[in-house]
Amino acid sequence: MITEWARQRARDFLNGVAVFFNRLGLTPNILTVIGFGLVCVIAVVIALGYEALGAVLLIFGAGFDATDGALARLTNRVTKFGGFFDSTLDRYADGVLMLALAYRGIALANQWIILLAVAALIGSFLVSYTRARAEGIGLQLKEGWFTRLERMILLILGLFATLFIGQTALLIMLALLAILANVTAVQRILIVKQKLDHADA
């Protein structure tokens, strides 16, 4: 999992951006809403067939998405609701992006793109749900091979690759997303079982 490595590398940059947004008077929750709105715009771009442009915009959008947490820490506005709100809109964002790709499958008359987009969405939701459910029973669960950052990187690479191999890139990218996200969900189920068995021992 490269999430923690990326967070450490990007921390100084995100803090600098957070200072800028703080000077503009923006709050973490407002940034969360703006970030989700940006993802919705990107989803429309992808749905209309401009996948490579969508990839470029997602690079910017992913950085923007991480700034709300940095701003919350910078301004001492870290709240339970803020974390809940951010996670909820992240799930909506995942859904909107997969919906855009499913729409591309319809436009291209390719049923495999549609099916794989749905399978990838199920896996993405289950990766998040297993963590949320584990925390609901008092367990920390940050482990996992293919968390949201990894999924976003693969999505961006796949969208870029459409410049060279067209819809084949979407099929490969969505197949990998579907497989790796669902494998990670199963991995987290096994980790939770292991932790519970160890606690009961």
Residue numbers annotated as active site: 90
Q: Is the dihedral of CA 124, 95, 104, 63 positive or negative?
A: negative
Determine the Cα angle at 152 with ends 60 and 37, to 5°. 50
Termini Cα distance of the chain: 28
What's the Cα-to-Cα distance from 153 to each of 48, 61, 82, rounded to whole Å?
A: 21, 12, 25
Biggest CA pair distance of the chain: 55
Helix, strand, coil tally for the chain in percent (to 5): 85, 0, 15
Quick check: 188 and 130 in contact, CB under 8 A? yes
Q: How far is CA 73 from CA 18, 63, 83, 164, 165, in A?
A: 9, 16, 11, 41, 42
75 with 128: CB under 8 angstroms?
no
